[in-house]
Amino acid sequence: MHPEIQDIVRKALAEDIGSGDITTNLCVPAEATATGRMIAREKLTLAGVDLLPLIFPECIVALTRRSGDRVEDGGEIAVVRGPARSLLTCERTALNFVQRLSGIATLAAAYVRAVEGTRCRILDTRKTTPGLRRLDKMAAAAGGAVNHRMGLFDAVLIKNNHIIAAGGVRAALERTRNAGVPVEIEVRTHEELDEALACGATHLLLDNLSPEEAKRWIVHIHGRATVELSGGITLETARAYAETGADFLSSGAITHSARAVDINFRIE
């Protein structure tokens, strides 16, 4: 498990437990043992179950399902056996992670299903919860989305404000020629589009176009560059955008607006 994720789990447990779980420690004998079953209470795409051994270090964790699995309502996700106090103290942290991350995976999977049969793939974005990006992107990938850049350090994405600050499309592209990482540029007008193509751009971001406009632009591009569409693309409109011939659709909603799914942890 990545050290960053281990650190996130440690902080989450410390945030909740603090100086100790006074309710559990007062109510439950130290020698008591128990079994906890994590159960889906709606259809979902699972993510985050790989964290359970970190969250319950004193327990035996048996995963019934894996991240990326589709689980039906009532489906068992994991069984945790060990000290009753450990199960009770850590159950909320476990549910917070698995419910939230499975919500992201479930929404990502819905977008992926919406574009099935087209050449288009779904991308996630940097619109993640601060401090949880690696987990958010793991969950998006579990749902079938393609991880875009992890941060500002692993790819070039020239947006509107970069173009303005650099002095234009040509200036921005020329300064990134030897970046050694993938380079993508956003274009807002046909003039910027043609200038970017003339400068050898290989990856274009078209933002806030209607499906009809996007299709015309993609016909004009005629395979000279990979095309990503973004800007307010919803589950209801994803299919129309995918059928324009775009290579990718990106949606910040996958990580910033996913609803936590309903999962239960039953102690026996």
Point out the catalytic residue in the list 37, 70, 134, 159.
159
Catalytic-role residue among 81, 113, 126, 127: 127
Dist CA 139 CA 147 (whole Å): 10
Q: How far apart are CA 127 and CA 253, in angstroms?
A: 8
- 70, 81, 92, 126: the catalytic one is 92
DSSP for 44-80? Answer: EE---GGGHHHH-TTSEEEESS-TT-EE-TT-EEEEE
Maximal C-alpha separation, the chain: 73
Q: Point out the catalytic residue in the list 91, 184, 186, 228.
A: 186
> Among residues 207, 243, 247, 262, which one is catalytic?
207
Q: Catalytic residue at 207?
A: yes
- Residue 7 is among the residues annotated as catalytic for this protein: no
11 is an active site residue: no
Measure the CA–CA gap between 94 and 20, rounded to whole angstroms: 17
The residues annotated with a catalytic role in the active site are: 92, 127, 159, 186, 207
